Amino acid sequence: MRAVLYGFLIFIGIILLVLPLAVPVIKTSAEFSMFNTKWNGCSEFAKLLAERGKVIPIIYPYNSVKLSKLDGVLIVIGSDIDFSSLEAEEVKKFLENGGTLFIADDFGTANSLLEKLGVKARFSTQPLKDIFYSKRAEFPVVVRIEDPELAVGVEKITLNAPSAIVGGKGEIFSSKVSVVGKNMRSYPIMAEIKYGKGRIIMLSDPSILINDMFEENRQFIENLVGYLGKTFYFDEAHHSDFNPYSVTTVYIHRELDREKAFQVFVAVAVLAIFIESGTARKIAQAIIKILPKRKENLFEGLPDWVDIKILEKIVNEIRTGSKLGDRHEWKRIHG
């Protein structure tokens, strides 16, 4: 009979390993959103982040989620809502504690946060133009990647109507004949700034990361993810048109993991030996001996209208044989 019980436990354990996994799915049309699977969303980028680490969307202001107490990488892509002073204070503490802020912006919306943080670098409010481009002039190409970790296997990065970074040192640069306004020179496209124990990484073209540009820049994006870290907080709170229009549940069917199935078998076998050898019973008896014994309460569970003091007096008289109680009875016998 017990063999059937242990076999049933193994069966249940294996069933749990192969049951479909329920995953909630949110969809939105917001540009640069991790939940947007269309051409202008960042769902492919978010999938890559999830493959390399842990992704947590942030849909409330930073001071509401206590960003300063988190550890990892805050990802801000294509924000179009200004950052409040309270949020900037949370980001400041987050950075001082060793966090990383990754901002991909093009025409200056994120400058409000950089200003509140006291950072001199800014995103240009004017577009960057270059004679080196792919297909059309709106898609400039950059090849100067000075950080070796970001450059591995990357021949070029194709931009999409980018701006530039001014007032900061760069890791990736446009060509020497690129123009912002009327000034022709090489401009930083990506820059890193030390801040407390943390760092701020600026990228002047969020469109690099959208689904439509993902495959063309895949190698660079993969390098970038490895460069950033392992835990990612994806900002959805600063997308003004973040409007989840669909929340569904997807069931992912899983194949049996032989290693985990073997672990279930071993766990049940150890449990069987533990019980059948009598070890479990001995341990239980030892624990019972150690635990303090519960004092019996004769009056527990009586109705509220019963006078407990009168009952206690009657029981005391029965025990002592005297209406005067224990103390007076002892004096009568021994005094």
> Which pLDDT score is estimated for 329?
47
Distance CA 322, CA 289 (A): 36
Pairing of strands 172-173, 128-129: unpaired
Q: Please check whether residue 85 is in contact with residue 54, taking contact to mean a CB–CB distance below 8 angstroms.
A: no
**pLDDT greater at residue 309 or residue 204:** 204
DSSP letter at 153 equals T
- Please provide the DSSP assignment of 119-134 as one string: ---EE-SS-EE-S-BS
Residue 323: both structure tokens together = 């209406």
Neighbour tally for 96: CB within 10 Å? 13
> Which pLDDT score is estimated for 23?
41
> Which pLDDT score is estimated for 21?
44
Alpha-carbon distances of 69 from 61, 83, 84, 89, 293, rounded to whole Å: 14, 18, 18, 12, 46
Helix (H, G, I), strand (E, B) or coil at 92: helix
Q: Please check whether residue 36 is in contact with residue 42, taking contact to mean a CB–CB distance below 8 angstroms.
A: yes
Instruction: Name the residue with tokens 């493959």.
Output: 51
**pLDDT beyond 90 at 280:** no
Residue 132: both structure tokens together = 């080196």
Neighbour tally for 226: CB within 10 Å? 14
Give the tens place of pLDDT for each residue, 26-75: 678 889 999 999 999 999 999 999 999 999 999 999 999 999 999 999 99
Give the tens place of pLDDT for each residue, 148-197: 999 999 999 999 999 999 988 899 999 999 999 999 999 999 999 999 99
Distant-in-sequence, close-in-space partners of 266: CB < 8 Å, separation ≥ 6: none
Distant-in-sequence, close-in-space partners of 325: CB < 8 Å, separation ≥ 6: 316, 317
Q: Please check whether residue 128 is in contact with residue 176, taking contact to mean a CB–CB distance below 8 angstroms.
A: no
Q: Please check whether residue 167 is in contact with residue 119, taking contact to mean a CB–CB distance below 8 angstroms.
A: no
Residue 175: both structure tokens together = 């060509």
pTM check: above 0.85? no
Distant-in-sequence, close-in-space partners of 42: CB < 8 Å, separation ≥ 6: 32, 33, 34, 36, 77, 209, 210, 211
Distance CA 237, CA 39 (A): 21
Q: pLDDT-derived band of residue 129, with 50, 70 and 90 as boundaries?
A: very high
Give the tens place of pLDDT for each residue, 294-307: 666 666 666 666 67
Identify which of 143, 162, 151 has the alpha carbon closest to the alpha carbon of residue 226. 151
**pLDDT beyond 70 at 257:** no
Give the tens place of pLDDT for each residue, 80-117: 999 999 999 999 999 999 999 999 998 878 999 999 99
Over range 14-35, report the average pLDDT: 67
The percent of residues in the chain predicted with pLDDT above 90, rounded, is: 58
Q: pLDDT-derived band of residue 25, with 50, 70 and 90 as boundaries?
A: low
Angle at 160 between CA 157 and CA 161, to 5 degrees: 130
Q: Please check whether residue 199 is in contact with residue 205, taking contact to mean a CB–CB distance below 8 angstroms.
A: no
**pLDDT greater at residue 201 or residue 244:** 201
Angle at 25 between CA 22 and CA 28, to 5 degrees: 175
Pairing of strands 122-123, 141-142: unpaired
> Which pLDDT score is estimated for 247?
42
Angle between helices 326-334 and 308-320 (to 10 degrees): 20
Burial class (CB in 10 A: 0-12, 13-18, 19+), 61: middle
Q: Please check whether residue 214 is in contact with residue 204, taking contact to mean a CB–CB distance below 8 angstroms.
A: no
